[in-house]
Amino acid sequence: MSSEDKDSQEDELLALASIYDEDEFKRAQDVQGGETRISVAVPQNFRVSLSGNFTGNLENSKLEYTVSFLPPVVLNFEFPPDYPSTSPPAFLLSCKWLSQAQLTALCRHLDNLWEENRGSVVLFAWMQFLKEETLAYLNITSPFEPEITKQEKQPKEEDGCYDIRDAASAHKESSDTSTVEDVESLSILIKEILDFDQSQKEKNFNCKMFTCDICFSVKQGSECMDFKDCKHVYCKICLKNYFEIQIKDGQVHCLNCPEPECSSVATPGQVKELVEEKLFALYDRLLLQSSLDLMADVVYCPRPSCQTPVMQDPSCTMGICSQCNYAFCTLCKMTYHGVSPCKVTAEKLADLRNEYLQADEATQRFLEQRYGKRVIQKALEEMESKKWLENNSKSCPRCATPIEKLNGCNRMRCTACMQYFCWLCMGVLSRINPYKHFSDPDSPCFNLLFQAMEIED
């Protein structure tokens, strides 16, 4: 490697690191190379259209979404010793929403850019092309329907498909083995595109500054929240107080945007983010009950980025979202689990037993069907056991083991850790002379060794 090539490579890597953040450019540790994640420029109101059998019916359906961001085009590269004087960078190009043929076309254009700039550094030109001209170069317009191609044979490492050292020559073949398409199905592609679009929107929102229309304070987006339909923005502190007041008053259907005459409503995911867990449980229960009273056949998709109303069969607890194809239990909002009872965490057992004891007979039957009678019985038994321990035992001051005193003096010894302690003040006693605590005039338990003890002649 000539000194000029080495200096050019180092300068180019330093320049890329200063231009792009860590999410967009990562330099390799062991070689002269790295990885870039290029976000393709997407025009306004860009729509992605997907056709397929999403519901399991005989007929195909068509889904269409408006997105502002698409998953990045990933460019892995490595500099040969004689770059940029003679050879181009070896590279590997991949993308979740482009077909093999489209990636091949991009690879060939990157070759052409190198030929036009032979002898000069070319990575920045490659990245700018991928960012600004990918859609136009591939004649991709809205609505865009990605092409899903299945490979009959999974490439192996020895084929050169994943070896970056061979990629520069490999992608010139007609099959273009330097491209990798990692989309396995339409459902995965839908999730990838929507989740990435949502995460990028949140990232951009968190970096901006907004004026809360309630307290009129100027705050960063990470301290604010917007209503999905109207896009009105308020700080989280004001919305938290507003939500709490409405929920405590039982007005779970009145969590509207505070803007006068605005009909936008907060999603359950937004409410859960701001209010305490117990208050959200009250909100969730009231919302479920009122919804069942009014529209017993409608539930909401539990994915925070979706929240689409879903029609369900009253005889079944399974809901399938028509937008994101998520199959879920309409009771616990988790992935559908068939006839098995809804799972309950150890932390929720206390709330479950309290709710069961305070419920009427109909609600108790509903809880037994939802969680199973064994789970309910276990929760009640644990509550009784805990109450008994609180009333009849004390915890060892060293290991916290519950200990019951049946008889004997106030010098106690834990059967778990063998620690001596005083039953009256729960202080730790000396292992050598535990009775000194009761014979020392300065001790709070002086002469109280046998206090409250029944002594028989």
Catalytic site positions: 409
Is the four-CA dihedral 334, 339, 369, 345 of positive or negative sign? negative
CA of 46: how far to CAs of 135, 175, 194, 239, in Å?
A: 11, 30, 13, 32
Q: Report the alpha-carbon distance of residue 229 to residue 262 in Å, rounded.
A: 10
**Is residue 356 within 8 Å of residue 332, measured between CB atoms?**
no
Q: Report the alpha-carbon distance of residue 202 to residue 69 in Å, rounded.
A: 11
Q: Report the alpha-carbon distance of residue 156 to residue 170 in Å, rounded.
A: 13
**Is residue 367 within 8 Å of residue 373, measured between CB atoms?**
no
- CB-based contacts of 236-244 (< 8 A; 24+ apart in sequence): 236/274, 238/212, 238/214, 239/266, 239/270, 239/274, 240/274, 240/275, 242/214, 243/271, 243/274, 243/275, 243/283, 244/275, 244/279
